[in-house]
């Protein structure tokens, strides 16, 4: 890529009592794989710490593209469900901030990529629901697995990654009912929705269930960066 590199914002999250050196302080955190993937794909990475939801539109207005990172389960109340016993504790402040970022990006037509939780939150933002637990999809705590993902022909995802690929994965929740306007653009062998998108040539919006920042394939992020650069 030549010329101006687009600025890609990536949502971060707060952790209390984080230790480094002699310090124990609250920290806004993001696994380094996210900015590294943006950089490898040709973009400039900007970490977005949680803020007031009313500032989301002003934040997104400074960006060329937005990534909503992976993380904890979306609170079931957000999509009208009672919590399953296996659903993790709510991260209400993070849900509120990232939903505001998603809504701002959709309104401003800023290219948007949701990763794992980010894909699930995108679906919820558009009125969809989630499966709260999938047996066998995160078998070893803290260890990424892998499985093949098959693209749906004719979709934006298939244009970026036309063949079946093995992807790094760590999740136990998934998309159930699709949100308004969304289509499924990839599936696992068991039928789990692995990618969703808005089928609009004028607005790049994609969510993936897996963690591209933990793998070697930059094509999804490269496609976001291309869209964010206006090419």
Tokens of 6: 């687009």
CA separation for the pair 56, 102 (Å, rounded):
9
Catalytic residue among 98, 116, 172, 197: 116
Quote the longest CA-to-CA distance of the chain: 54
147 is catalytic: no
Catalytic residue among 137, 171, 172, 211: 211
Residues in the chain: 231
Tokens of 99: 């939903």
Select from 152, 170, 156 the least CA-distant residue to 115. Answer: 170
Q: Give burial (CB, 10 Å; 0-12/13-18/19+) of 67.
A: buried
Give the 3-state secondary structure of residue 94: helix
Q: Which residue has 């079946």 as its token pair?
A: 164
Which residues make beta-bridge pairs with 146? 168
211 is catalytic: yes
CA separation for the pair 174, 151 (Å, rounded):
17
213 is catalytic: yes
Other beta carbons within 10 angstroms of residue 59's beta carbon come to 20
Indicate which residues carry an active-site annotation. 116, 211, 213
């Amino acid at each position: 890529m030549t010329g101006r590199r687009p600025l890609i914002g990536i949502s971060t999250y707060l952790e209390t009592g984080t230790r480094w050196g002699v310090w124990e302080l609250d920290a806004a955190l993001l696994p380094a794989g996210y900015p590294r993937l943006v950089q490898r794909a040709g973009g400039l990475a900007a970490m977005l710490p949680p803020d007031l939801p009313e500032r989301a539109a002003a934040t997104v207005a400074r960006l060329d593209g937005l990534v909503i990172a992976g993380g904890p389960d979306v609170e079931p109340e957000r999509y009208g469900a009672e919590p399953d016993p296996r659903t993790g504790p709510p991260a209400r402040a993070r849900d509120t901030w990232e939903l505001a970022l998603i809504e701002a990006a959709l309104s401003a037509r800023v290219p948007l990529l949701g990763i794992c939780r980010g894909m699930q939150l995108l679906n919820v933002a558009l009125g969809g629901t989630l499966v709260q637990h999938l047996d066998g999809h995160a078998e070893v705590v803290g260890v990424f697995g892998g499985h093949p993902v098959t693209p749906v022909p004719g979709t934006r995802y298939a244009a970026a990654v036309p063949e079946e690929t093995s992807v790094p994965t760590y999740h136990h929740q998934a998309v159930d009912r699709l949100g308004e306007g969304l289509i499924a653009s990839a599936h696992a062998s068991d039928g789990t929705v692995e990618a969703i998108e808005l089928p609009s040539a004028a607005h790049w919006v994609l969510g993936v269930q897996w963690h591209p920042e933990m793998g070697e394939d930059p094509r999804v992020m490269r496609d976001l960066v291309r869209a964010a650069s206006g090419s």
